[in-house]
Amino acid sequence: MTFKSINIGGRLMEFDRPKVMGIINVTPDSFYSGSRTPGCAAIERRAVEMVEQGVDIFDIGGYSTRPGADEISPEEEYGRLDRGLEVLRRVAPDVPVSVDTFRAGVARKCVENWGVEIINDIAGGTLDPDMFATIADLKVAYVLMHTRGTPATMQQLTDYGDVTAEVLSDLMAKVRQLRLLGVNDIILDPGFGFAKTTGQNFRLLAELKVFVDTGLPVLAGLSRKSMIWRSLGTTPAESLTGTTVLDTVALMAGADILRVHDVRDAKENVLLIEKLRDNSR
């Protein structure tokens, strides 16, 4: 049987079963306060815990992209990432690292200085015109996410005729651009919570299989997002059960990567879904 795969740092990552990407936020203002690790000791504790729980990929971010988040300079963003990456490479050198940034210059420094294997661009190349060429030059895997506007304006840009068709069309046009530049290791992310209403987010999830059917690995980033806690009338801190429910829907549709705050719960989810598939007729 042939599975989807990507090259990360010269190693083949095959999606014979879904992978769990653990979020490490080296920021003081990420939307879920429980994910913040502003100091080296906190980063180390979080990383060690995730390794013990079976994390497949770290995803480290130094710039909060929640609506209304403070703007920071590229220098400050890289400074935060530099401290975090030193910790990750020291305590878990064998775990692949993804860096969550929309800035090509920051991406380049992280790859060249720390050997980062994946760049996770929430802007899908729209906020830095140099990003696609930089990814091609660095020869790293790339998470291509859909959004519109900036973190400050995205929630005013939700006018779609058919949200799934338009998001898919936008992503595939960018896939073609990337392939012309020689980028082949591309992961699709429909961008839950980014320039979408709650209803549009649920529509994308219900139709996630159209992204899976492209043949590219698909990342689902649903963890503790507002589509969960607003629907339930709770808070991000109270959204673990809701996250597990929606991650299950994503896995059943064929998602290849779950990007999560809670690694243990996601790994258990993956295991149980795989048991179900292995024993179905």
Residue 153: per-residue pLDDT: 84
Q: Which listed residue (66, 259, 267, 275) is catalytic?
A: 259
Instruction: Say whether 259 is catalytic.
Output: yes
Task: Look up residue 124 and give its two tokens.
Answer: 């899908």
- Classify residue 23 as exposed, middle or buried by CB count within 10 Å of its CB (0-12, 13-18, 19+): buried
> Which one from 225, 264, 277, 281 is the annotated catalytic residue?
225
Residues whose CB falls within 8 Å of the CB of residue 157, separated by 6 or more in sequence, listed in order? 148, 149, 195
Name the percent of the chain lying above pLDDT 90.
84
∠ CA 255-257-263, rounded to 5°: 125
pLDDT of 31 higher than 50: no
Question: Minimal CA–CA distance to 26: which of 50, 49, 44?
Answer: 44
Residue 93: count other Cβ atoms within 10 Å of its Cβ: 9
pLDDT digit string, tens, across residues 6-23:
999 999 999 999 999 999
Average pLDDT over residues 63-92: 87
**Per-residue tokens: 15:** 């999606």
CA distances from 168 to 86, 92, 208 (A): 36, 35, 10
Least confident of 19-33, 74-88, 198-212: 19-33
The predicted pLDDT at position 281 comes to 66
Q: Residue 225 catalytic?
A: yes
pLDDT of 32 over the 50 cut: no
Q: Where do the domains of the chain lie? A: 16-278
Name the CATH superfamily housing domain 16-278: Dihydropteroate synthase-like (3.20.20.20)
- Residues 259, 250: contact at Cβ < 8 Å? no
Does position 77 have pLDDT exceeding 50, yes or no?
Answer: yes
37, pLDDT greater than 70: no
